[in-house]
Structure 1
Amino acid sequence: MSLLDHAIWWHVYPLGAFGAPGHRSPDEPIVARLDGLEAWLDYAVNLGCSGLLLGPIFDSASHGYDTLDHYSLDPRLGDDAAFDRLIEACRARGMSVMLDGVFNHVADTHHLVAEGLTRGAWEGHGSLATLAHDDARVADLVTDIMLHWLRRGIAGWRLDVAYSVPGWFWSDVIGRVRQEFGDAVFLGEVIHGDYPAMVAESRFDSVTQYELWKAIWSSIQSVNFWELAHALERHQTFTASFVPNTFIGNHDVSRIASVLGDSGAALAAVLLFTLPGMPSIYYGDEQGFRGEKGEGWDADAPLRPALPATPQGLARVGWGMYRHYQELIGLRRRNAWLVRGAVEVLAKSNEAIVYAVRGDGHEALVSVELGAAYRASVHIDGTQAFAWQG
């Protein structure tokens, strides 16, 4: 069975989660901060996750998306030995690992710039140089990088700003990688556009379902489930051809609990885990972490906070949300057919929505209501399987 059918990812931004300095100095000492993840793996497994989706871990100038060397760990996180320890710790728990591949651009001090394999700044960011995807040497390099880390034990790649890279480039590289790793998963970061067409051209397995993310929080915030109903109709056209990556938070957007409060965030989680797709949970959302996206160089810092050394260091107030997530993920685990189910909106108003998800001879009937209290219920094949009020 493909990872697409059973993976639920715990998405971690390691440089932030383990307190790395914001900028890498030229003589940065090697500090194995990546080892700090092992103390959190059982926490993620107990939550119900089966995969670890890591933000950038490669040697970089600052935030990780300005890569200096794709073959080496950032010294602020450790070295090859630290990576091997993490892979072994995940393997011992049955967890898969997906890495964040930044193959659209590199730091402007990367050696590829001097070698003529870039094509100017990316989207006006002077510190980032766009790779020359029309040069065959770049495709050879990206293929080799992907294979290097797959051979070292990862299960797949999240492809950063995949929408900025030509589809034919991804198709070529992914096709070559799959000659050796036929089961590798490729998740493209795509914000807007024709998702099915991009999947078909690029050979991605999945893309980030930003349309659904937007509709979930916006519908709850604005008390307008007509918006979600429209998005679910779109979602059904997507899931008919591929398995989207569904989420209500990541390293680039304001925390769901900051936008909606605890009750709204809990309701958003109900939607996330009852809809078709491959879900990912951004670390801390399962505890109701707060953080709002700002402006300027450190705009994303509040979204990428340090974790305590162990889960025991978390505030007591967040464990209610954690148990809420556990219950919903348990429901999803018992009904794995939801991943590839077909969704149909049955009723909608500003304050309420009812939808069905059907697959493999089963049906989930989901009812969500906004009002003086938020309510949600899920019936599986006619029997109530979940009820919540916030």
Structure 2
Amino acid sequence: MLKEAIYHRPKNEFAYAIDERTIHIRIRTKKKDVQQAILIHGDPYDYNAKEECWIKKEKEMTHNGNDDLYDYWLVSIEPEHRRLRYGFKLVNSQDALVYTEKGFYREEPLDASYYFCFPFLNQIDVFSAPNWVKNTVWYQIFPERFANGDTSINPPETLDWGSEEPSTTNFFGGDFQGVIDHLDYLHELGITGIYFTPIFKAYSNHKYDTIDYLEIDPQFGDKHTFKRLINECHQRGIRVMLDAVFNHSGFYFPPFQDVLEKGEASRYKDWFHIHEFPVQADEPANYDTFAYVPTMPKLNTENKDVKDYLLKVARYWIEEFDIDGWRLDVANEVDHAFWRDFRKEVRAIKPELFILGEIWHDSMPWLQGDQFDAVMNYRFTSSIIDYFAHQTIDANQLMHSIHAVRNSYPETVNDVQFNLLGSHDTPRILTVSDERTSLVKLQMTLLFSMAGTPCIYYGDEIAMTGDQDPGCRKCMQWEEQNQDQDMLTFMKTLISLRKEHKAFRSNEGLRFYTDAAKLDVIVYEKQDLLFILNRQERAITIPLPPHYNGQSAIDLWTNDPVSFEETVTIDKWGYAIYQLTT
């Protein structure tokens, strides 16, 4: 047994509370090195005076998947008095070890102080994302390109809708009225949450260069129209999440203009990270920015006045307009102390508000219950696209990647992770899939059948194309003859299945089958559902696990009854979802 590969710490994704009574414990071991993992556990104060030893129990752990290097094991435990000492008994055919905080032993230590400690399950420390999020299907709208419903507020030199390819500088007049006009379309699609990219007054068409955080950009409408939009969404059961750009402002943000004008005498000089005076606003700028963009000066969120201002902004849009969530742009470059205060402020107003961070890498430091509820799950995105679209990894590598991402977070986080295949920052999924809708359907099926909260980038449901920004920001195609109606029907069905079957929305019982993976087919089960995905340009017959032989099921796409035999044949680029009935 390779001791160096065995890892546990009593914190983060390895030990966490899932509710006020229950704790999850996870351990990592070398892949295929351990056949059985058992939790040794007990109350730290339970002592057998006669035997002069700590009183402990055992509970079998469940194999929770593996990546290319490690196996992961998970167990759920409810300590009677909400406190816990624990260790692990690890067994294979040749060895058995006891793993504790003080190291490895052949025999179980008798003293509780040798073991890992979960001191007390305090309810205030339990990770608590809003209950509604895991059941939500999101739709991301880039407001300038969704629909033009009020031409009277078009910005100067607005182009006819879709008359040119998108650029970083052109405008087509998308606005709030256009969104209102198409809410029934979103409702019929099955959407229950809208994520808007920034709507506040800004210079650009993307609005990530904020001028005034407390005003709506006039090209989108006014506050009255926005309030009507929120109300219309809520009447249809659709939540609304706004985009907060608190890492940086725009060039024309009045405090930054004041610094440019007055230099070191400006009362706002400490609102930004100025290296020296006079301020040099050309590239390379002599102040910190988003990336290397001089028109997006980085805000100093450690400054009290900046913090007070931004927290006022966060409160305002909740109190005045009843928004349901904040998506936080470039969230990983803002200090943790600010986000902790942010969470306290917004949750004090609306306890069920969703807080989503834009982070593209491992995000555990932000997901401990004191900052964000979830992040944009781009690590999951990359795995799906690498397998189905780029085809640079094989089936085993996809399965390994999914398990690695899953086991890097608590399951309570996984339940609300923001899962997506594309956004305003990436090429469209149909474009990266060589414009093969068959491959997009496979990717959407996997996305929608995993725990988390899935998001559709506007237009992907009708097979719109678009390369990297600005190509991915085309005008929404509203002429039905130019929409892929087959793709739209597919997405409506997939969303409906996700809402109908709880197993789509949970990773409970998730298991991938390696025999199918050897044939480059993805086969996985969750509870009473079996999923099969074939990315190959040929039909293929695959073996089913023995326990399926003779079982009856329903094909959820066709509602036809199925009787399983030893194998099943899946069409080229095919997908199937079966619900067991026996």
Query: Paired residue for 1:296?
Result: none
1:51-90 to 2 correspondence within 5 Å?
A: 51-62=193-204, 63-90=206-233
Distance 1:317 1:181 in 2: 39
Residue-by-residue CA offset, 1:337-373 (whole Å, 9 max, x unaligned): 533423332222362122233xxxx343222112224
Q: Which residue of 1 aligns with 2:534?
A: 369
Quote the residue 2:513 is aligned against: 346
- What is the aligned partner in structure 1 of residue 305 from structure 2? 137
Q: 1:46: which partner in 2?
A: 188
SS at match of 1:307: coil
Q: What is the deviation of 1:274? A: 0.6
Identify the structure with bigger relative contact order (alpha carbons < 8 Å, sequence gap 6+). 1
- Match status 1:200 vs 2:343: no
Q: Does residue 187 of the first structure (1) align with residue 356 of the second (2)?
A: yes
Q: Deviations over 1:174-227 (max 9, x none)?
A: 11221121110001111012x233211752111111011111111013162233
2:528 and 2:315 map into 1 onto residues whose CA distance is 40
The answer to whether the 8 A contact 2:503-2:529 is kept is: no
Q: 1:138 to 1:339 in 2, by over 3 A?
A: farther
- Aligned length in residues: 369
1:27-67 CA-partner distances (Å, limit 9, x unpaired):
xxxx8821011122111111111111111110011021000
Which residue does 1:108 correspond to in 2?
251
Q: Against the structure 1 CA distance between its residues 366 and 240, is the aligned structure 2 distance closer, same or farther, given a 3 Å change threshold? A: same
Q: 2:315 corresponds to which residue? A: 147
* 3-state secondary structure, aligned to 1:315: helix
The residue aligned with 1:314 is 480
Mapped partners of 1:375, 1:17: distance in 2: 40
2:299 maps to 1:123: no
1:224 aligns with 2:394: yes
- 1:236 match: 406
Q: Evaluate the alpha carbon distance shift between residue 46 and residue 374 of structure 1 in structure 2; reply closer, same or farther with a 3 A threshold.
A: farther
Could you list the per-position Cα deviations for residues 92-151 of structure 1 after superposition, in whole angstroms to 9, with x for gaps in the alignment? 212111101111111122123232212232221111011101112222222211111112
- How far the C-alpha of 1:316 sits from its partner, in A, is 4.5
**TM-score relative to the length of structure 2:** 0.59
1:332 has 2:498 as partner? yes
Higher alpha-carbon Rg: 2
8 Å CA contact 2:233, 2:240 repeated in 1 = yes
AA matched with 1:2: N
User: Once the two structures are superposed, what CA deviation does each residue of 1:254-312 show, in whole Å capped at 9, x if it has no partner?
Assistant: 1111111211111111111111111111000101100001xxxxxx222111225xx4x
Amino acid at match of 2:134: D
Cα distance change of structure 1 residues 374 and 246 upon mapping to structure 2, 3 Å threshold: farther
Checking the alignment, whether the CA contact within 8 Å between 2:356 and 2:375 is kept in structure 1 is yes
Aligned to 1:28: none
Label 1:106 to 1:370 Cα distance change in 2 as closer, same or farther (>3 A). Answer: same
Q: Which residue of 1 aligns with 2:423?
A: 250
Q: State the alpha-carbon separation in 1 of the partners of residues 302 and 339 from structure 2.
A: 12
Identity level (%):
27
- Kindly indicate which of the two structures has a greater share of residues assigned to helix: 1
Residue by residue, what CA displacement relative to the aligned partner does 1:51-98 show, whole Å, maximum 9, x if unpaired?
A: 111111100110210000111111111111221121121122121111
When residues 124 and 382 of structure 1 are mapped into structure 2, their CA distance, relative to the original with a 3 A threshold, is same
Question: Does 2:474 match 1:305?
Answer: yes
Q: Residues of 2 paired with 1:344 and 1:383: CA distance? A: 20
Asked if the contact 2:202–2:250 (Cα under 8 Å) also holds between the matched residues in 1, the reply is yes
Matches of 1:92 and 1:23 in 2, distance apart? Answer: 35
> Deviation at 1:228?
1.6
Give the CA RMSD over aligned residues.
2.7
